[in-house]
Amino acid sequence: MSIWSFAKQFAPDVPESSQLSLGEGFTPMVRSRRIGPAMGVELFFKLETANPTGSYKDRFAAAAIADMLRRGCSRCVATSSGNTGAALAAYCAIASLQCEIAIVETAPAEKLQQMLAYGATLIRIKGFGLDPDVTRKTMAAVERRASAPGAALQISAFCKSPEGMAGVQTIGYELCEQLDGKPAHIFVPAGGGGLTLAVARGIAGSAASVHCVQPSGNPTIAGPLRRGGDRAEEVPCSTRISGLQVAAVLDGHDVIAACRASGGTGFLVDDDAVYGIQARLAREEGIFAEPAGAVALAAAVQAVTSGELPHGWPIVCIVTGSGFKDQPSVARMTATQQVPLIELDAFQSLP
């Protein structure tokens, strides 16, 4: 199974010969065994960590590279903080396409290594992802490079790469099936907002509400949405959560409209709360997520604790990427733990 099971819904013009797949999509939605029951709610996790390169961005890459093949393109020019780049590099590898990626300054080494392993060319840019002006100018430079013959721009936002983002909408299609039409609160992490918009469009017409969650150090979308505004805002980015350091607006205006239309709102969570939830996911639910993958649950816990959620609906949190993507956060989680080396005799004498 792959996202191409939904091809008629999101990519009717892509021929089967261009529909590359590494088995992305159809990820499990698992019930919380401890955190949800402790709060007295029905809680589920949509495990996008199960995708081939470890994040939901494989859905984007599969659709984006298929569209490039359909159009006869040979060179992918992209931006990434890590997961988009890893996914594009992998799918470019199986399609025999060149892959050039402009990288945000703070991308974790593990994500860079994954991209390099697939053969991508990487350029890391100082201030990109943190400073709104540098981010805007970097985006413009990438778009100029992507305008060359045979090249195609791939940025995981509807405003830049709608064909690829249509593949991400399959998360919404799957949630509709997995929820069997039941109403639910769906919490989705956001940087530039593309994932949140994709989920909202994918579940459009269902009874689910989509909530946009951002770190408090990057409140471009969730801040205005929560205050009742209808326009996203550029801000200097101070969050340490890799993958969500997007100082530009990108899909933000449309995210606000889509979330509000679904009955959802915005939530802001502190970095330290995210790191704490990352540890709880591993130790209480057996889910190994990078910090960005824990952001949705951090907001859900906050919303339940404050009594903010109406109804008695189930809650679904999108877990976007694997813990293997961000080793420093795992080192922080396990910093107080030691693995002693002992003699066999000492081991045999343990109680």
3-class secondary structure, 292: helix
What CATH topology corresponds to 8-55+164-333?
Answer: Rossmann fold (3.40.50)
Q: What is the pLDDT of residues 94-138, one digit of tens each?
A: 999 999 999 999 888 888 999 999 999 999 999 998 888 898 899
Q: What is the DSSP string of 61-94?
A: HHHHHHHHHHHT--EEEEEESSHHHHHHHHHHHH
Report the alpha-carbon distance of residue 310 to residue 186 in Å, rounded.
13
Q: What is the DSSP string of 119-130?
A: T-EEEE-TTTTT
pLDDT the model gives residue 10: 94
Report the alpha-carbon distance of residue 301 to residue 285 in Å, rounded.
14
pLDDT the model gives residue 169: 98
Nearest to 253, CA basis, from 147, 158, 133, 128: 158
**CA angle centred on 281, ends 277 and 286, rounded to 5°:** 165
What CATH topology corresponds to 57-162?
Answer: Rossmann fold (3.40.50)
Report the alpha-carbon distance of residue 321 to residue 223 in Å, rounded.
24
8 A C-beta contact, residue 226 and residue 265:
yes
| Residue 33: count of CB within 10 angstroms of its CB | 12
Residue spans of the chain under pLDDT 50? none
Same fold, 8-55+164-333 and 57-162: yes
The domain ranges of the chain are 8-55+164-333, 57-162
Q: Which residue type sits at 192?
A: G
**Single pTM value for the model:** 0.94
Q: What is the pLDDT of residues 65-82, one digit of tens each?
A: 999 999 999 999 999 988
| Residue 69: count of CB within 10 angstroms of its CB | 19
